Amino acid sequence: MQRIPVAATVAVLLACVAAGAAKANGPRSSTLDVSAFGRLPIVMSGSVRPIDTVARMSLLRINGSDSVPVESGTAPGVGRLAFWRSPRTLEPTEWFLEVLTKPEADGRRIFPVADATVRGKLGLGAAPGNYYTFAELQPKVNDLARDAARIEKLDAAKRETWEREWMALRARLGVYARLRTTLQPAAVTSAGAKYDFAPRLAKYQQDLKPLAGAVQARSRGEQKPLDPAVQNAIRDFAAPFASIARSGFVSMIPPADRSRAKDGWETVGGAIVESTHDGRLRPGVIAFAQITSAFAAGNADAFDREVARYGQWLRSRGFGREVERTSYEYFYTRVQPFTGAAIFYIAAGLFMGAWVLTRRVALRRGGLVLMALGVSVHTAAMLWLGLISGGMPPVNTYTSTLGGSLLAAILATLVMRQRGLRLGGVAALRTK
């Protein structure tokens, strides 16, 4: 009978970890395979990351949450006490796609403005949970910038609470605005505008063909004049993209040459401006235009097909390693193996505490089993980090803490086992 609670506890904890692993494939938006899109590699801050991670980090910077309520009028954390009915939410990747392609993204309540002074100075009315939309805050950008210029001159330690909140809100809006123009400039993504990047880009490709021919002719020493109408069309299309080429912080477009994999990734705006020089447009721009246009139109078959096609193109061009690493990171982020290990460690501590009080052998054995499972999951997670980094995990505070905690867990398991054996031996001598 003593073994039943131990076995049941282990089974429940394993089920919890398995549930986390099952969640790793991510949700599907209707029949759209959003998780496959979330695993695609892009570059942020010089590192190749999956789109899902970039979207998740951006959302966390904006409101400290990694999901967005879908229901009208709801905000992160509002109404979640009703455990029998949690509001449907958007996962980071789907939210990112919505920000890129759909005006309704600007109506999501994702910006927290907790300070009453900030709300008063900006003239903001009441909102659920004091969360506001980009559409509500965008008209206040100039007001934010005006006071931010004064606040920036103050010593950070001497700023008042509302001034710190003011600067934080401005930074959150900046993150969102830059994400919003990842593919197209603000002039094109104005509120209410229909997303039509793919057909506009197809027209631009046609205009580029004469330019490419003229460039090739020049390389052969020939003169091939370009029609002024074509020159104007190319300039008119590309000129607005110059701004996002400079301000974009997400480089989505890989180089055509694998040898430039480290420094050749480019923003969409940068790739389009680049094409005005030689008439060649990077395939990644075309792929993302087709993927996002299919998403905006709700065309699941086209979306899934274009995502799969782009993934195959990346592998064929020598970016298979990047695709694999971002897939590992995607699943790692969703499974959260260190959280699973921590659950096993906590349960093991409870079992060993109960054993100290009761001296029941089954509790000690259960504690050791749980500790062993925790160490196994912990070790697998460290190896997983190695797969993500393509070798040994980088040495930093995070990995050092995880490595140290793994050694501590191994030592604790050995101590628990030896102490249990010693106490068991003493108990056996006392019974003689």
Residue 354 vs residue 413, higher pLDDT = 354
Distance CA 203, CA 215 (A): 19
Following DSSP, what letter does each residue of 95-163 receive, concatenated? HHHHHHH-GGGGGS--EE---HHHHHHHT----GGGEE-HHHHGGGHHHHHHHHHHHTTS-GGG--HHH
Tell me: pLDDT of 147 over 50. yes
Q: Which of 17-21, 243-247, 423-427 has the highest mean pLDDT?
A: 243-247
Please, what sign has the CA dihedral across residues 178, 180, 182, 184? negative
Does a structural domain hold residue 78?
no
Q: Contact 393/386 with Cβ under 8 angstroms?
A: yes
| pLDDT for res 244 | 86
Does a structural domain hold residue 27?
no
Does a structural domain hold residue 268?
yes
Please report, as a single letter, which amino acid is at residue 348: A
Same domain as 239, residue 169 = no
Does a structural domain hold residue 279?
yes
Which has the closest alpha carbon to 32: 330, 303, 331, 334?
A: 303
Other beta carbons within 10 angstroms of residue 224's beta carbon come to 13
Read off the pLDDT band of 193 (50, 70, 90). low
pTM for the full predicted model = 0.83
Order across the sheet with 250-251: list the strands.
47-50, 41-44, 250-251
Does a structural domain hold residue 280?
yes
Q: Is 335 helix (H, G, I), strand (E, B) or coil?
A: helix
Tell me: pLDDT of 286 over 90. yes
Q: Please list, in sequence order, all residues whose beta carbon lies within 8 angstroms of the beta carbon of residue 208, skipping any fewer than 6 positions away.
A: 234, 275, 279, 280, 281
Does a structural domain hold residue 252?
yes
Tell me: pLDDT of 324 over 90. yes
Q: Provide mean pLDDT across the span 62-68.
A: 88
Same domain as 223, residue 166 = no
Does a structural domain hold residue 25?
no
Same domain as 309, residue 191 = yes
Does a structural domain hold residue 329?
no
Q: Provide mean pLDDT across the span 255-282.
A: 88
Residue 266 phi, psi dihedral angles, 5° rounding: -135, 155
Same domain as 280, residue 250 = yes
Other beta carbons within 10 angstroms of residue 135's beta carbon come to 14
Q: What is the pLDDT of residues 74-100, one digit of tens each?
A: 566 555 444 445 567 889 999 999 999
Distance CA 167, CA 149 (A): 10
Total domains present in the chain: 3
Please report, as a single letter, which amino acid is at residue 260: R
Tell me: pLDDT of 113 over 70. yes
| pLDDT for res 34 | 95
Q: Contact 255/265 with Cβ under 8 angstroms?
A: yes
Looking at 316, 344, 360, the residue that finishes a domain is 316
Same domain as 248, residue 205 = yes
Residue 88 vs residue 131, higher pLDDT = 131
Instruction: Measure the CA angle with vertex 44, ends 41 and 47; round to 5°.
Output: 75
Same domain as 221, residue 160 = no
| pLDDT for res 342 | 86
Average pLDDT, the chain: 83
Q: Contact 402/381 with Cβ under 8 angstroms?
A: yes
Q: Contact 336/20 with Cβ under 8 angstroms?
A: yes
Residue 316 phi, psi dihedral angles, 5° rounding: -65, -25
Same domain as 342, residue 303 = no
Tell me: pLDDT of 27 over 60. no
Other beta carbons within 10 angstroms of residue 317's beta carbon come to 16
Tell me: pLDDT of 158 over 80. yes
Please report, as a single letter, which amino acid is at residue 122: L
Which residue range(s) make up the domain with 217? Answer: 34-61+87-103+187-316
Distance CA 275, CA 8 (A): 62
Same domain as 119, residue 163 = yes
Q: Give the distance from CA 99 to its chain's centroid.
A: 13
Q: Contact 387/24 with Cβ under 8 angstroms?
A: no
How large a percentage of the chain has pLDDT more than 70?
80
Same domain as 9, residue 152 = no
Looking at 180, 202, 228, the residue that finishes a domain is 180
Please, what sign has the CA dihedral across residues 397, 42, 54, 51? negative
Q: Provide mean pLDDT across the span 148-167.
A: 93
Tell me: pLDDT of 259 over 60. yes
How large a percentage of the chain has pLDDT more than 90?
48
Q: Give the distance from CA 26 to its chain's centroid.
A: 13
Distance CA 188, CA 148 (A): 27
| pLDDT for res 351 | 86
Least confident of 53-67, 176-190, 274-288, 303-317: 176-190
Same domain as 287, residue 225 = yes
| pLDDT for res 20 | 53
Q: What is the pLDDT of residues 360-407, one digit of tens each?
A: 888 888 888 888 888 888 888 888 888 887 766 666 666 667 677 767
| pLDDT for res 85 | 53
The DSSP code for 191 is: T
Distance CA 40, CA 94 (A): 13
Distance CA 382, CA 332 (A): 11
Same domain as 169, residue 50 = no
Same domain as 93, residue 119 = no
| pLDDT for res 30 | 54
Looking at 180, 210, 229, the residue that finishes a domain is 180
Q: Please list, in sequence order, all residues whose beta carbon lies within 8 angstroms of the beta carbon of residue 209, skipping any fewer than 6 positions away.
A: 279
Please report, as a single letter, which amino acid is at residue 282: R
| pLDDT for res 54 | 95
